[in-house]
Amino acid sequence: MLKTRGLLITLEGIDGCGKSTQAVILQRYLEESGLPHVMVREPGGTAVGEDIRQVLLDNHYSLSLQAELLLYMAARSELTEQVILPALQAGKVVLCDRFTDSTLAYQGYGGGADLGLIRLLNRKATGGISPDLTVLLDLAVEEAAGRRGATADRMESKDFRYHQRVRCGYLEIARWEPQRVSVVDASGEKEKKGRNIWQLVQNLINRRLSMRTTDDF
């Protein structure tokens, strides 16, 4: 399937929204359906990207906003070139736990970095690819904080108002791009949410297949 180009699906949301659990559930559905796929996370997914992740999340470091922004972009650039683009070119479904919207929401809306600059850097880091579908798991900051582990990493340690801005930023992105971003209420039961997300993915696949010409086969 999807011979000419794969599909890029991203999962987004504030820390503690249950995004990574949903990534695992969606991966299970993809496995059961026999669709060729890869799952990656950001920052990470390459040797250098995983090392950058350690630095970014390490509580012992205090990073400037610029350094933070550029490190996320460096990890993204590596992941895109080494993993995402080859998988898309091979016609696979790429499931990415966080991608470009995370930088807009966190460093942009949360931290105050210029949104235009982030969009420009995102284009540079990704070669201009954009997700075919983004699932935004939306949850109140108070509830998300209660779900997180006992020890907070460097990003989780940012204050309540920062995370509130991140959540509002995500919702604003969804308002600007409703055709790409589907907002899912993250407060419900996890298997039910998983079924809803799988339905969104199936709709996308069906749309893509119906748009193809016979030349694609």
Nearer to ligand TMP, 41 or 193 (CB): 41
Instruction: Out of 42, 78, 132, 138, point to the residue binding ligand TMP (CB under 6 A).
Output: 42
Give how far the C-alpha of residue 77 lies from the chain's centroid of Cα atoms, to the nearest Å: 14
C-beta closer to ligand TMP: residue 2 or 52:
52
> Quick check: 103 binds ligand TMP (CB under 6 A)?
yes
* C-alpha to C-alpha distances, 22 to 60, 97, 133, 196, nearest whole angstrom: 30, 9, 15, 10
Q: In the 3-class helix/strand/coil scheme, how is 37-62 assigned residue by residue?
A: EEEEECCCCCHHHHHHHHHHHCCCCC
Does position 22 interact with ligand TMP (CB under 6 A)? The reply is: no
Among 40, 106, 109, 132, binds ligand TMP (CB under 6 A): 106
Q: Is 41 in the site for ligand TMP (CB under 6 A)?
A: yes
Shorter beta-carbon distance to ligand TMP: residue 32 or 159:
159
Residue 162 makes contact with ligand TMP by CB under 6 A: no
- How many residues in the shown chain lie near ligand TMP by CB under 6 A? 12
Cα atoms found within 13 Å of the Cα of residue 213, Cβ hemisphere only: 1
Smallest gap from Cβ 101 to ligand TMP, in A, equals 8
Residue 210 structure tokens = 């119906």
Yes or no: say if 19 and 105 are a contact pair by the CB < 8 Å rule: no
Q: Which of 182, 195, 187, 180 is nearest to 28 (CA)?
A: 195
Q: Closer to ligand TMP by CB, 1 or 155: give it.
A: 155
Strand, helix or coil for residue 157: coil
Q: Is 170 helix (H, G, I), strand (E, B) or coil?
A: helix
Among 72, 109, 170, 198, binds ligand TMP (CB under 6 A): 72
Whole-number minimum distance, CB 107 to ligand TMP, in Å? 6
Binding site for ligand TMP (CB under 6 A): 15, 41-43, 72, 98, 102-103, 106-107, 155-156
